[in-house]
Amino acid sequence: GVGVDMSREMLAVARARLQRADLSNCLVRQADMYQLPYPAGMFDVVTLHQVLHYAERPESAIAEAARVLAPNGRLLVVDFATHDREELREEHAHRRLGFEDSAIHSWFRACELETDDVISLPGKPLTVQIWSAHASAQAQKSVAANRNNQAAE
């Protein structure tokens, strides 16, 4: 497993937790979610966990996650359903107050990902949603074509 974050502080926390849990097969590195330092089609599963509500361009983060998704891969987005907790903008730097299913699904479609069922985890006061998509046949052909082009260069 590979985790990425821009914050050195968050990476230090994650490294300590990985070490405590003895997860030597996992690592974290500093990277930008809009420009991941990995080739197209590298990962079987990509998870965007509680990051999109901080994102300036969530659709771009999803597109970049889709780029590194392998054929038959799955993208999971875990974040808040829409809510009205405006104080989260000031107190925790949230840029967005959750997401509508329709927005996430349209971003998936733009990346040629096929949407799976949405799981809703109601909470007090916030509901967490898990949106899932998988690489469509067309997206898999695009990834394969990109790999062949990269290999030829």
Token pair for residue 141?
A: 């052909």
Place of tokens 């990269």: 150
How far apart CA 129 and CA 53 sit, in angstroms, is 12
User: Cα-Cα-Cα-Cα dihedral of 99, 100, 103, 108, to 10°?
Assistant: 80
Q: What is the pLDDT of residues 17-66, one digit of tens each?
A: 999 999 999 999 999 999 999 999 999 999 999 999 989 999 999 999 99
pLDDT at 137: 65
Report residue 135 as tokens. Answer: 């690489």
Residue 66 CA to chain centroid, in angstroms? 8
Q: What is the pLDDT of residues 58-112, one digit of tens each?
A: 999 999 999 999 999 999 999 999 898 889 988 999 989 899 999 999 999 999 9
- Determine the residue type at 135: A
